[in-house]
Structure 1
Amino acid sequence: MKTKITVLMLFCFFNITVFAQEKTKKELKAERELQKQKAIEDLINSKNFVFEAQKAQPLGSRLINLDYNTYFLNFNTTKTTCDLPFFGRAYYVPYGGDGGMKFEGVPENIQIEKKKKSYNINATVKGKDDVYSLYFSVFPDGGATLSINSNNKVAISYQGVVSAPKKDESKK
């Protein structure tokens, strides 16, 4: 009888120690959130990320849902490429222009400011026909807002997500 009680006590002891080592769902979720925050912080500090727009907010108008994975701003210190739709008033559009916020250029005056719950990034990009001021607010979960001011168009804001740039298959 004593051996049965001893075996039972040992069995309980080992089960308790095994269960004590497993992490709870809250702990696992907190770890994933910390990893995501670290990844976003690394992207911002590298100044190399992609903003994918999900919604557009023209100045003085309603929120417009956009198609996912279609509109983007690829931010890089050597070349920034933007292909975002534009809704609003344009003061000057070159003949044959395709509308939208479409430009390429080298960002200048890049400023990154870490706030309590976000990162603010300001930059200026000189495109072919205009100068664009970019204002990002990036949150720890990867969500972001982007406001673009230009000389020839009214300001517009976008909501979306920030992610790492995709690797080109041709570089392999």
Structure 2
Amino acid sequence: MNIISKILKMHIMKTKVAVLLIFLSLLMTTGYAQEKSKRQLREGRKIEKQKQTAALVESKEFVFIGRTALPQGFRTMDLTTNPNYVQFHPDKIKSEMPFFGRAFSGVGYGGDAGLHFEGTPQEFTVEKGKRAYKIKAVVRGDKDTYTLLLSVFFEGSATLSISSNNRSTISYNGDIFKIEKKEVK
């Protein structure tokens, strides 16, 4: 009986090991399937964001909101607490961006410190590159002419550079968004 009980114990042991291996492989497969679906969800969100960005850029109606300002010769400035934007329309561009940098002629000391202008773009071009859309707009304001170069990356982040005749060039990092229509009450 001793031999039979040993054989039975070995058989039970092999069965337990086999069941354990099957259970572990199922657990790993389930975990891998969930990981794969998370990756697929992430890719789906990325593709959806790229489609939204493409639609905004092609419509030429969107708003750029800056997160940081990068003035020439000065440190980077955080803009998250400062209201700022540039609204792009095919027939009008409006800027309410802060300015940090050097002013040359035509800007009074202690005067308007920002790049506040509104006007019909004399030039408004959109080109799709390998990594980003390149948008160029030229707007004549009351006192100056502004050249805006906007690089919009496919996921919606953007870099805006504004140059003018009377001020040094300044760049901003930020994002583009759909212009929210105000409700009329």
Please state which band the TM-score falls in when normalised by the shorter chain: 0.7 to 0.9
State how far apart, in whole Å, the 1-side matches of 2:110 and 2:159 are. 30
Partner of 1:164: 178
Q: CA deviation at 1:69?
A: 6.8
Counterpart of 1:75 in structure 2 is 88
> Deviation digits for residues 106-161 of structure 1, max 9, x if unmatched?
11221111111111101100111110000000011111000000011110000101
Query: 23, 38, 43: which one pairs with 2:56?
Result: 43
Q: Return the TM-score normalized by structure 1.
A: 0.82
Letter in 2 for 1:24: S
Q: Which residue of 1 aligns with 2:74?
A: 61
Distance in 2, matches of 1:49 and 1:156, equals 20
Quick one: which amino acid aligns to residue 71 of structure 1? N
Are 1:143 and 2:138 counterparts?
A: no
Please list every run of 5 or more consecutive structure 2 residues that lacks an aligned counterpart in the other structure.
1-32
- Asked whether 1:33 is paired with 2:59, we answer no
Q: Which runs of 5+ in 1 are unaligned?
A: 1-19
Cα distance change of structure 1 residues 42 and 68 upon mapping to structure 2, 3 Å threshold? farther
CA contact (8 A) 1:53 1:159 kept: yes
In structure 1, how many angstroms separate the alpha carbons of the residues matched to 2:122 and 2:60?
12
- SS of 1:169's partner is coil
Deviation at 1:56, TM superposition (A): 0.3
The CA deviation at 1:61 is 1.9
Q: Percent identity?
A: 45
| Offset, 1:67 | 2.6
Counterpart contact for 1:123–1:134, Cα < 8 Å: yes
Counterpart in the other structure of 1:116: 130
The separation in 2 between residues aligned to 1:105 and 1:60, in whole angstroms, is 29
Show CA shifts across 1:80-107 (max 9, x none). 1100110111112158842210000011
Contact 1:52 1:69 in 2 (8 A): no
Question: What is the CA–CA distance in structure 2 between the aligned matches of 1:134 and 1:158, rounded to whole Å?
Answer: 11
Partner of 2:7: none
- Conservation of the 8 A alpha-carbon contact between 1:53 and 1:68: no
Distance 1:167 1:39, change over 3 A: same
Aligned residues: CA RMSD? 2.4
| CA distance in structure 1 between the aligned counterparts of 2:143 and 2:108, rounded to whole angstroms | 8
Task: Choose 95-104 or 158-167, whichever is displaced more.
Answer: 95-104
Task: Read off the aligned partner of 2:121 and give its amino acid letter.
Answer: P
Aligned partner of 2:84: which letter?
Y
Task: Give the structure with the larger helix fraction.
Answer: 2
> Hey, what's the Cα distance between the residues in 2 that align with 1:69 and 1:164?
20
